[in-house]
Amino acid sequence: MCDDHAMQAISAYGSPISKLAPTPNIDRLARRGMLFNSAFVENSLSSPSRACLITGLYSNQNGQRQLLEGIDSTKTFFSELLQQAGYETGIVGKWHLMCEPKGFDWYHILDDQGTYYNPTFCSTHHYKQYRKEEGYATDLITEHAINFLDHRDKNKPFCLLVHHKAPHRNWMPAPKNIGKYDGVVFPLPKTFWDDYSTRGSAAHTQNMNITHAMELIQDLKVPEMMDTTKAQDRFSYMCLMGELGRLNSEQRIAWDKYYMPRNRKFIEAHLTGKELTKWKYENYIRDYMAVIASVDESVGKLLDYLEKNGLDKNTIIVYTSDQGFYLGEHGWFDKRFMYEESMHTPLIISYPGHIKEGSVCNSLVQNIDFAPTFLSLAGIKQPKEMTGRSLESLFSGTAPKNWRKSLYYHYYDYPTFHLVRKHDGVRTERYKLIHFYGKGGIRAVSENKYQNTPGTRENNLFKKLSAAKYFHNDPDINYYELYDLKNDPNELNNIYGKKGTDNIFNKLKKKLNCYRKNLKIDEY
């Protein structure tokens, strides 16, 4: 599992970006297994998504509604059941849940989000005792994964979760890949200059637009642009320098060799308006895809290891991301919204002898299905309280008649980074209904458990953002958006309230209310 790996950045999915920056090893996995075209998340945010993965439950059921706090660690983790059934279990890389990994014989996890360069890890029996390791995060995670495979009990079956930090913001490539795509001109997405003209206020008040929210200093690595009179510039500079301060001399030489001349050229160009925005986009994608290059190398190393050690024919391999990501679509970066690019996530499963090579699945699947799938494949009965469904019945290439026809989505994390408003909704194979709701600005804090609880990380973050005057005085909202994904796959035309859509809206609203009732959603 990667963090923020967009489908658009995997060449097996055929996007224009990936054609210029291919992912041969992930494609290799797709050729030997099944590519899922309709895989989605329930809450497009890192910790909530990971909680869905480990529990097979929706966010309101597992407790992890927001980013920093929430998971109910009394819930059953699928790793516990595998462990009890005789599997040797391990996880390496990003954990990002505020509890010790449960049900794992071995773990080696990053501190919080982790850093790209010379990161700190804690390991089994030493929870929260972090130690710095020399190297690049993706490479180190891969090395530790192979070390687990080398030293496991060969008499036991195993389950290993390899969870990369990459390609999370702020997209820092391995020294050998810095500047890998220098000069490559990535095409602007068709919706890049979207003006959100048919949508409600949430699309207008977000803070994830490349033009205004992507920071030259921290995100684009141009510390020379710091204005010492601006608090945000000083903060961005400190964040960037904190990461660069971790570099050793060899890593710093590689960094300066590329970014310093690039930055001089940029400053001398005095770009403004759309030309500045396009420069931001190009250099964002160049760094993002250079980070992905290391992920693809990691996948290749693990596939090679399995083949070399005779494990490739009897190992199920799953590749996914904790959610989708905007690579300039609608002019955005980040995720959170229920719109396709962030709700949609890559998913590839290889299962030799059971999944036909090069097969494709178009059925609606969701990240709550991972835990039930792993249990089913291991011959373990799924607990009654686990909401998701095993994907095993889809492996033949034909979905059973009773397979789901819709998905529920719910995003809770407001007000905080990127200022995306609370919303839930339902998606069918053709239509999507989104309901945006809640108080605006700091008035919304009263609706959130942890932001309103002194001493919690959410509360401390709220205080910092509030002191920095980060929050806007957004309006209180309660409105719907409706999309016909067949005729409007880019979601540019909100048809809610348009003539002839009443019947569609009423059917979707009925489905949405059924989800809310069955899941005991208490947000309203």
The CATH code of the domain that includes 310 is 3.40.720.10
Residue 158: its H or E element: strand 158-163
197 occurs within a structural domain:
no
Q: For residue 16, what are the CA distances in angstroms to 13, 20, 128, 251, 502?
A: 10, 7, 42, 31, 36
278 occurs within a structural domain:
no
72 occurs within a structural domain:
yes
Above 70 in pLDDT, residue 524? no
CA distance 369 to 385: 13
CA distance 155 to 189: 50
- Pair 98, 73: CB distance under 8 Å: no
Segment 60-108, tens digit of pLDDT: 999 999 999 999 999 999 999 999 999 999 999 999 999 999 999 999 9
In the block, residue with structure tokens 């792993």: 374
Q: Which amino acid is at 315?
A: T
- Pair 175, 255: CB distance under 8 Å: yes
**HSE, side-chain direction, 13 A CA sphere, residue 447:** 20
What is the pLDDT, as a whole number, of residue 518?
96
Mean pLDDT of the chain: 96
40 occurs within a structural domain:
yes
Q: What percent of the chain has pLDDT over 70?
A: 100
264 occurs within a structural domain:
no
Closest by alpha carbon to 239, among 254, 214, 221? 221
Residue 26: its H or E element: helix 24-31
What is the pLDDT, as a whole number, of residue 522?
81
Segment 178-218, tens digit of pLDDT: 999 999 999 999 999 999 999 999 999 999 999 999 999 99
433 occurs within a structural domain:
yes
What is the pLDDT, as a whole number, of residue 468?
81
Segment 35-68, tens digit of pLDDT: 999 999 999 999 999 999 999 999 999 999 999 9
What is the pLDDT, as a whole number, of residue 467?
86
CA distance 279 to 268: 13
Above 70 in pLDDT, residue 469? yes
What is the pLDDT, as a whole number, of residue 429?
97
Q: What is the DSSP letter of 214?
A: S
What's the whole-model pTM score? Answer: 0.97
277 occurs within a structural domain:
no
414 occurs within a structural domain:
yes
CA distance 222 to 218: 7
Segment 294-304, tens digit of pLDDT: 999 999 999 99
What does the block give as tokens for 406? Answer: 């819709």
What is the pLDDT, as a whole number, of residue 147?
98
In 14-93, beta strands by DSSP E: 34-36, 39-40, 88-93
Above 80 in pLDDT, residue 523? no
Residue 439 sits in which domain range? Answer: 7-171+283-519
Closest by alpha carbon to 175, among 249, 238, 65, 119? 249
Q: What percent of the chain has pLDDT over 90?
A: 96
Q: Domain tally for the chain?
A: 1
Closest by alpha carbon to 444, among 411, 415, 424, 417? 415
